[in-house]
A and B are shown apart, each in its own frame.
Chain A
Amino acid sequence: MAEEKFQVIIIGAGVAGSAAAYRLAKAGREVVLIDRGDTPGRKNMTGGRLYTYALEELMPGEWSDAPLEREVTREIMMFMTREDSVSIDTTLSSQKQQSYTVLRARFDAWLASKAEEAGAMLIPGSTVDGLIIRDGKVAGIKTGDEELEADLVISAEGVNPIVAERAGLIKPVNVKDVAVGVKYVYKLPEQTINERFNTVSGKGTAMLCVGECNKGISGGAFLYTNKESISLGLVVDTHSWKESKLPLVDVAEELRQHPALGRYIEGGELVEYSAHLIPEGGYKSLPQLYSDGFLIAGDAAGMVVNRGFTVRGMDYAILSGIAAAETADQAIEAGTFTKSFLQNYETKLKKMVLKDLESFKDSHDYIAHTQHLFTTYPNLAVDMMNHLYKVDGNPAKKIPGIVKETIVGKLPYFSVLKDILKGGKSL
């Protein structure tokens, strides 16, 4: 039986949930943050890099002690075939502290502790298994034999939002709107990482690869340098993978074996192997974001943009957490938790998160349906470089000849032109 009633209960202490709890606690509200992990972060995984503008928005000037790994100062885009690779290596020293690599076990525990310090009540190790719904209004949550009541419930339960789905508050996630990611974390001495990536402590590299690694399926591999470890992983479209019938576990292993990637983790110690889904449907798959007594934020609401060369979900999770908290705060002030009042949440989101999601609404379709991106183009890039650098005693060719030799017969010109035009509009 319910004993106490809170103002707000938040399901999930990922970045979205903890951001919302932090803001509400700062506003002096009674907020409960529940997570299924025995400590927040222990169920979570990301690539990944966090764009710090969102942290600054959440807690201006207060995140200097956040457990961030390395500031990303080097970006590598790699095309690979079975044995070879071509990379575009970019250093952007002009961009200051734009993004940092993160490991979620540490980062989420820190963010949740910030919310706790601000006055939120954290209940870890509790899986929410249902909602209390009274007269059509969400009135609390159920976990095990316990019930907790609140004026408002915020679902920040991540990419498998089964609590919200089963209560009929959102449409179920469609298999075509997700990708699956697997990741290896390799421990290596800080100095070794610095040397391998030609950098200094505190500075890091983000690398994205397409080609052989994802077997022509929409997706790609990623590599991020952390302080004393390297995150190496693979993301592939769930539905296309199902159609492909390829063994995911074996393909994930091939990733480590690829000479262009394997050399970075050589000699390191594998410390973790994880998997997680990514919502990829974007704007077109957004669920209903608010109901009587209920808001939904972050991955649970599908707020991720995948443009191929960047995946952004954590920053949108934080921003939507902030918007949910502000809406909840206003609702408490006004003493009303109706669907029509909570519509403010969407209005707030439209200024930022939803605007981006809308701008890139075609990027998922583009990426998922542009086969050449994952097969033809990586092959071409590698072939072309192969020709350019080839010295075998045969008569040398001039560059236009090489280009012609590389692409003749391999490229359906019209579809390439179409890809470029559509890509320009979608990405």
Chain B
Amino acid sequence: MKKLTIDERLSKNRFETDDHNPHIVIDKDACKTCSHRACTYCCPAERYKWDTANDKLSFDHVGCLECGNCRLICERLNQGVPGYSWNYPIQGMGVIFREG
């Protein structure tokens, strides 16, 4: 069976994208001091990537499946320290599951 990249998988879903209001906020510079970077391997949508060229985290809220896993594995998101916050998208925005 052909392997599917994460983008190929996510392209099967419907998203009502809110480009202007990311529901998850992180501080990419501050992330440099994170000891585990667990978001890069625990997010089922691979929204977090370590950009080795720039030695910086990259994050894209578009395509987020709204599971909440990063909220729990990232202490900063979990505690909502300055520069980090996790919320559900507002007013019907975000992923739309047509199967569930």
A interface with B by C-beta (< 8 Å): 36-38, 41-46, 103-108, 124-127, 129, 143-144, 159-160, 162, 172-173, 175, 178, 180, 182, 184-185, 229, 231, 238-239, 241-242, 245-249, 252-253, 256-257, 262, 266, 270-277
Contact = CB atoms under 8 A, between A and B. Distances in A.
Given A103-B100, A126-B92, A245-B41, 16 more contacts: A43-B95, A43-B96, A127-B88, A129-B90, A175-B72, A180-B44, A184-B9, A242-B38, A245-B38, A253-B4, A257-B1, A271-B98, A271-B99, A273-B10, A274-B100, A275-B69
Contacts of B4: 253, 256, 270
Given A248-B44, A275-B44, A180 B96 contact: no
Given A172-B78, A238-B69, A256-B1, A274 B97 contact: yes
Nearest to B95: A43
B91 A144 contact: yes
Contacts of B42: 180, 238, 241-242, 248
A105 B100 contact: yes
Contact of B100 (A104, A247, A257): A104
Given A178-B72, A273-B13, A275-B65, A37 B98 contact: no
Contacts of B91: 36, 125-127, 143-144
Nearest to B40: A247
A275 B65 CA distance: 6
B98 A42 contact: yes
B97 A127 contact: no
Contacts of A37: 92, 96
Interface of B: 1, 3-4, 6, 9-10, 12-13, 16, 36, 38, 41-46, 65-69, 71-73, 78, 86-92, 94-100
Interface of B is mostly: loop
A283 B85 CA distance: 29
Given A273-B12, A273-B13, A160 B68 contact: yes
Contact of A275 (B12, B38, B45, B86): B45
Contact of A270 (B12, B68, B78): B12
A244 to B, nearest CB: 9
Given A36-B92, A241-B42, A256-B1, A44 B97 contact: yes
B73 A103 contact: no
The 10 closest A-B pairs by CB, nearest first: A104-B100, A125-B92, A38-B92, A275-B44, A273-B9, A105-B100, A160-B68, A275-B67, A275-B65, A175-B72
Nearest to A160: B68
27 contacts: A37-B96, A38-B92, A41-B97, A41-B100, A43-B95, A45-B100, A104-B97, A104-B99, A105-B98, A125-B91, A126-B91, A129-B90, A159-B68, A160-B71, A162-B86, A162-B88, A180-B69, A185-B99, A231-B99, A242-B38, A248-B41, A256-B1, A262-B1, A272-B12, A274-B65, A274-B95, A277-B72
A11 B1 CA distance: 42
A18 to B, nearest CB: 14
A45 B87 CA distance: 18
Given A238-B42, A238-B69, A249 B98 contact: no
A143 B88 CA distance: 12
Nearest to B67: A275
A127 B89 contact: yes
Contacts of B3: 253, 257
B78 to A, nearest CB: 7
A272 B99 contact: yes
A175 B45 CA distance: 19
Contact of B87 (A124, A162, A182, A185): A162
Contacts of B99: 103-105, 185, 229, 231, 271-272, 274
A277 B1 CA distance: 27
A201 B70 CA distance: 40
Most chain A CB within 10 A, of B10, B69, B90, B96, is at: B69
A274 B99 CA distance: 9
